[in-house]
Chain A
Amino acid sequence: ILNVEQSPQSLHVQEGDSTNFTCSFPSSNFYALHWYRWETAKSPEALFVMTLNGDEKKKGRISATLNTKEGYSYLYIKGSQPEDSATYLCASSIYNQGGKLIFGQGTELSVKP
C-alpha cells in the first residue's frame, strides 16, 4: 500500500512570511512526485512534477525539492501573499502504475494580510 503523508495539515501565516510543507512517500518503486495547488471553489492545478533524486523546481516564489532515496519532498513559498492561500496536495506514483496518483491529505495554507 502506498501511503503519502503531508505535514502540517494546516498552516496560518502572515503576509510576507516564508513557509514550507513536507510530503513523505514510500521510496520503493518510486516513479514521480507531483505538487498541486487547490484554491477554494476552483480545480486543483498542477504546480510541479519531479522524477529524479535531487530535482528542484521553481515557479515564481514557489519552489520544490525531491529526495527519492529517503522519500520526501519539500514545497517552499517565499514571501507568502494572501493569494497563496489554498490547499497544497502532493501525489506520488509508482513504477508501472504511472497513471495512478496517490494523493496525500493536503496542507491547508492561510495567509493573513
Chain B
Amino acid sequence: DAGVTQSPTHLIKTRGQQVTLRCSPISGHKSVSWYQQVLGQGPQFIFQYYEKEERGRGNFPDRFSARQFPNYSSELNVNALLLGDSALYLCASSLWAGGTVGANVLTFGAGSRLTVL
C-alpha cells in the first residue's frame, strides 16, 4: 500500500509568484493536514481537512489556502510568495474523524521543499 505521496519534491519560485503543492493520503484516510517546517523548528500547523471541509487552521495569512477533493487528496496553495515562505511543507493523513474520539496519529509524506528567491 502506497504511503502519503507529495508533489513536487522540490521547487524554486521567485517572490510574488504562486505555488500549488499536492498530496495524496493513504488509502482509507479521510483527514489531511498540512504543516510548514522551517529549519531548526518543529513543524507548524497550517490546515486540516476532513471530508472536504476545513476542520482547523493555523496562524497563517490568507495567502495560504487549501482544499480537499472527493478522493481525499489535497492541494495547498500559497499566493504572493515571500522569502519567508521558504520551507519544507509536510502533508500528513490520518484516520481521525474529528470530535474527541481517539488521537490524530499522523502518517507523513516526504514533503515538498519550497525555495523562494
Q: Do A and B bind each other?
A: yes
Residues on A lying within 8 angstroms of B by beta carbon are 4, 6, 31-32, 34, 36, 42-46, 49, 51, 89, 91, 93, 95-106
Number of A-B contacts (CB under 8 A): 76
5 A-B pairs, CB-CB below 8 angstroms? A43-B108, A43-B111, A96-B100, A100-B56, A104-B42
CB contact between B104 and one of A6, A99, A106 (< 8 Å): that residue: A99
Residues on B lying within 8 angstroms of A by beta carbon are 3-4, 31, 33, 35, 40-45, 48, 50, 55-56, 58, 90, 96, 98-100, 103-111
CB contact between B43 and one of A32, A46, A89, A98 (< 8 Å): that residue: A89
Give chain B's interface secondary structure class.
Answer: loop
Distance between A19 CB and nearest chain B CB, rounded to angstroms: 20
Q: Is the CB of A101 within 8 A of B106?
A: yes
Which residues of chain A are near B103, meaning CB under 8 Å?
31-32, 34, 49, 51, 93, 98
Q: How long is the Cα–Cα vector from A98 to B56 in the complex, in angstroms?
A: 10
